Amino acid sequence: MALMLLRLRDIHKSFAGAEGPVPVLRGVDLDLAAGESLALTGESGSGKSTLLHLVGGLDRPDRGRIEVAGTEVTALDDSGRAALRRGTVGVVFQQFNLIPSLTVGDNIAFQARIAGRHEPVRATALAERLGLAPHLAKYPEQLSGGQQQRCAIARTLAARPALVLADEPTGNLDEATAEEVLGAMLELVAETGAALLMVTHSQHHAARMGRRLHLHAGRIA
């Protein structure tokens, strides 16, 4: 049986509103096995990014249990969750969070170095695959938004995380480039046997993923 990389049980999350807590997630269950790719869709404000933040250990649920690769994230302290993000979970968020003082090449290698998995040959191949080879010596501010987005994707994948979380990773790209980058992501994730959980607004992109779940009214519809 494939290793279960992600298991969510009865996840609840509210945020403070003017008239008391506003529930965003109201009992989310989800399983994702190694090698699977899952598209998470749902209208704007339905809680997709919130769910990714909880899985990535960037925030805590009010209730429920999150397990990543057999580790109960909900039981970890801040440093435990940071260690999980260094070693096991790779995140590509809407904000690229590239390091301005590092070249594109060093940005790509950064996460892999921290995880102790930097392989220059792999990093170069990734850069070529994502159309970044001519830009490796540049700095992030010299790249277009789409190139920065691809750099953030390369940085995450270079570290070979077991679970990749991506929030609209192709949102800044034109349709043709988005298609290509999504294809590359799916192949690269499949190559390493990782699991991919990706938020997308594109039904077309969702259809290219192994499974699709829709978030509505705080639950998986």
The residue written with tokens 């040959």 in the block is: 121
The pair of structure tokens assigned to 188 is 């690269």
Number of residues that bind ligand ATP (CB under 6 A): 10
* Cβ nearer to ligand ATP, comparing 20 with 45: 45
Give, to the nearest 10 degrees, the angle between helix 175-192 and helix 145-158: 0
Residue 15 has, within 13 A of its CA and on its CB side, a CA count of: 9
Pair type for strands 195-199 and 37-41:
parallel
The smaller minimum CB distance to ligand ATP, of residues 49 and 103, is found at 49
- Alpha helices (runs of H) in 13-143, residue ranges in sequence order: 48-55, 78-87, 104-114, 120-129
| Binders in 46-105 for ligand ATP, by CB under 6 A | 46-50
Smallest separation (angstroms) from ligand ATP to the CB of 112: 28
Measured from the CB atom, the residue of 51 and 184 that comes closer to ligand ATP is 51
Minimum distance between the CB of residue 180 and ligand ATP, rounded to whole angstroms? 23
Q: How far is the CB of 170 from ligand ATP (least distance, A)?
A: 14
Query: Smaller CB distance to ligand ATP: residue 57 or 105?
Result: 57
Question: Please, which residue, 162 or 167, has the CB nearer to ligand ATP?
Answer: 167
Residues 7-46: x where in contact with ligand ATP by CB under 6 A, - otherwise, as a string: --------x--------x-----------------x-xxx
State the residues that interact with ligand ATP by CB under 6 A: 15, 24, 42, 44-50
